[in-house]
A = this chain, B = another copy of it.
């Protein structure tokens, strides 16, 4: 780094960062990133809000021989509290209810006495992220300094541009080693395998969204116990009745609804406890940082923001996305058909002679099928992501939900279409059972092996990380600090975490659970042991997921959530679809048909099963209506909050004094005269 550049970097800092400086978030610039871009970012992060900056504390470390600049971001308490106020962060009020934090009313919030720990680290990191992302380009700032070709649009997030164009390559909040160690001990250790997860601690450290995923996974695992138990009984006893499958299927169908409804209650308890229950996305929420459009104003708040006409989004969705997705689903379907044709051909030709060559040819179709599906799937995921970006949804929740639907649709077709084909077109129960078992157990075994390898991977990776950070330690000898020192300990920690894998959100984990739910409930009458397999899998899944969160991944920024969103709907849809598939399976079962009077016509048999299907659906709807979505106590607490804020808004008392009344009378006389 030339002297000129160094002088530039030095001159950027407005004021000395106080010592000791506690950094919360790390930004790593690309090796060789242009100096003016670095300086501009630093000045933006430091500048006061009124001049369009983020008003944060920044310390820069320049590793001279690597030509890389790393920024450590912190913030003053006052800055964090202002941000908490502006973003409407919920904190516990003196009456033990959550309220949106307010600077003016600050003294009435619990824990404000110790102002350093009033906000959790996760909250501080989230607020810093929000403030960094909120730095937007003004009219004159039409490109990133040093990169003339990288254009900026008025009102778009500058940080997002740096990230999408890889000028900043990594951005991560720092772990808290001690808290993390404690959390890990409570969470994934073997001796705790039958204990509840420390959900509140998880939320405290990782935020509500991730905590809700683990809560749901744990809850769903417990809900699998009764079906698994029945599955075991069926497996070990010799009770061979024709009612077997029917009883099991009906139990499962009703059970799925009860489970999903009771989860809603439990979820509302959690989100009440965490102060996120009345978090509803609304027209006046801020748009996503990547939302684009011509600059207009929000019809509700009147604030300037990008405007993108709804018809354009609808056009893109219905005229581009829907056809493309349909084609992809069609391709998956035809690949499946091709597989069955190939398999049939291979069976005919090679199954008669038993030789090693023939045996491997017999498995060739399966291998080709798996490879093809893998390729199509990875292409589809990229396309789906691009399409979803291009649809340009205004709110993060809408964006997430549309992406979830796209992924679910494809994975659903991918995983279940062959089962549907076997069950209802080929109509071969034995084949369905073996096919289902093969799919479920293979997927789970692969998953288990992967997850058993996690600690092993962890060890090798940790070694790499240590090596890398050793190198950086060498580098530390040749480091320049700007604006206050960052302790060597923090630099070592950051160096280590920089090499860790980035956590990609809960999407894939939910998807895995969703497919498993489908395997267990859609064809439960064909394969009652599915629930047991799923249960065994999930017990270890929880712990290995936990281990990954604690040891493998970079710390993710905490995100709020009041429920599991579109996933609730997805699971409910599967549970409704399961009624149809199971009724059809049982209706097609020749064993069951023997039960009916022999003189009954085939038509009436079908009508009976249609009637049964409608009755089970009606029962499910009734169960869903009869189980309230919130426990009574949550409902009362929420009503109390609403009542109190109504009173506060009215600022008046029911028993008005006589003197008040006289005043009103006087006012009225005045008016009417």
Which A residues lie at the B interface, using CB under 8 A? 49-50, 76-78, 81-82, 85-86, 100, 102-104, 106, 112-113, 115-116, 282-284, 299-301, 580, 601-603, 605-607, 610, 614, 635-636, 639-640, 642-643, 645, 648-652, 654-656, 658, 661, 664-665, 667-668, 671-672
Closest to A107 in B: B667
Nearest 5 CB-CB pairings of A with B: A283-B639, A300-B639, A606-B606, A602-B603, A284-B643
Extra inter-chain contacts (20) besides given A78-B664, A115-B671, CB under 8 Å: A78-B661, A81-B668, A82-B656, A82-B661, A82-B664, A113-B671, A115-B668, A116-B672, A283-B635, A283-B636, A284-B642, A284-B643, A300-B636, A300-B639, A601-B602, A602-B602, A603-B603, A603-B606, A606-B610, A649-B649
Closest to A617 in B: B617
Chain B residues within 8 Å of A603, by CB: 602-603, 605-606
This chain: copies in complex: 2
Distance (whole angstroms) from the CB of A617 to the closest CB of chain B: 10
Chain B residues within 8 Å of A116, by CB: 672
Contact of A649 among B113, B283, B645, B658 (CB under 8 A): B645
Report the bound CA distance from A100 to B76 in whole Å: 42
Closest to A100 in B: B650
Q: Are B610 and A103 in contact (CB under 8 A)?
A: no
Contact of A648 among B100, B299, B649 (CB under 8 A): B649
Chain B residues within 8 Å of A49, by CB: 655
Report the bound CA distance from A50 to B653 in whole Å: 13
Closest to A610 in B: B610
Report the bound CA distance from A534 to B655 in whole Å: 53
Chain B residues within 8 Å of A640, by CB: 299-300
Chain B residues within 8 Å of A636, by CB: 283, 299-300
Chain B residues within 8 Å of A655, by CB: 49-50
Distance (whole angstroms) from the CB of A614 to the closest CB of chain B: 7
Distance (whole angstroms) from the CB of A224 to the closest CB of chain B: 28
Chain B residues within 8 Å of A299, by CB: 636, 640
Chain B residues within 8 Å of A606, by CB: 603, 606-607, 610
Report the bound CA distance from A602 to B607 in whole Å: 11
24 contacts between A and B (CB under 8 A): A49-B655, A50-B658, A78-B661, A78-B664, A78-B665, A82-B656, A82-B664, A85-B652, A86-B654, A102-B650, A104-B651, A106-B667, A112-B671, A115-B668, A115-B671, A282-B642, A283-B639, A284-B639, A284-B642, A299-B640, A300-B636, A300-B639, A603-B606, A649-B649
Report the bound CA distance from A103 to B656 in whole Å: 11
Q: Are A103 and B652 in contact (CB under 8 A)?
A: yes
Distance (whole angstroms) from the CB of A465 to the closest CB of chain B: 36
Report the bound CA distance from A112 to B100 in whole Å: 35
Chain B residues within 8 Å of A642, by CB: 282, 284
Q: Are A103 and B672 in contact (CB under 8 A)?
A: no
Report the bound CA distance from A300 to B655 in whole Å: 18
Chain B residues within 8 Å of A665, by CB: 76, 78
Distance (whole angstroms) from the CB of A313 to the closest CB of chain B: 14
Contact of A104 among B605, B607, B645, B652 (CB under 8 A): B652
Of A100, A115, A649, A671, chain B has the most CB atoms within 10 Å of the CB of A671
Distance (whole angstroms) from the CB of A634 to the closest CB of chain B: 11
Chain B residues within 8 Å of A78, by CB: 661, 664-665, 668
Q: Are A102 and B668 in contact (CB under 8 A)?
A: no
Chain B residues within 8 Å of A284, by CB: 639, 642-643
Distance (whole angstroms) from the CB of A575 to the closest CB of chain B: 15
Distance (whole angstroms) from the CB of A122 to the closest CB of chain B: 21
Q: Are B282 and A639 in contact (CB under 8 A)?
A: yes
Distance (whole angstroms) from the CB of A362 to the closest CB of chain B: 34
Report the bound CA distance from A363 to B244 in whole Å: 53
Report the bound CA distance from A113 to B670 in whole Å: 10
Closest to A112 in B: B671
Chain B residues within 8 Å of A112, by CB: 671
Report the bound CA distance from A81 to B667 in whole Å: 12
Closest to A656 in B: B82
Report the bound CA distance from A640 to B282 in whole Å: 10
Chain B residues within 8 Å of A650, by CB: 100, 102
Contact of A102 among B301, B605, B652 (CB under 8 A): B652
Report the bound CA distance from A204 to B649 in whole Å: 28
Of A115, A301, A640, A664, chain B has the most CB atoms within 10 Å of the CB of A664
Report the bound CA distance from A536 to B459 in whole Å: 82
Report the bound CA distance from A607 to B588 in whole Å: 12
Distance (whole angstroms) from the CB of A102 to the closest CB of chain B: 6
Chain B residues within 8 Å of A607, by CB: 606
Report the bound CA distance from A420 to B3 in whole Å: 93
Distance (whole angstroms) from the CB of A335 to the closest CB of chain B: 25
Report the bound CA distance from A648 to B655 in whole Å: 25
Q: Are A643 and B300 in contact (CB under 8 A)?
A: yes
Closest to A651 in B: B104
Report the bound CA distance from A104 to B653 in whole Å: 11
Closest to A607 in B: B606
Report the bound CA distance from A645 to B602 in whole Å: 64
Report the bound CA distance from A656 to B85 in whole Å: 11
Contact of A668 among B77, B283, B652, B664 (CB under 8 A): B77
Chain B residues within 8 Å of A601, by CB: 602
Report the bound CA distance from A102 to B640 in whole Å: 21
Report the bound CA distance from A50 to B50 in whole Å: 54
Report the bound CA distance from A654 to B301 in whole Å: 12
Chain B residues within 8 Å of A651, by CB: 104
Report the bound CA distance from A109 to B54 in whole Å: 41
Chain B residues within 8 Å of A77, by CB: 668, 672
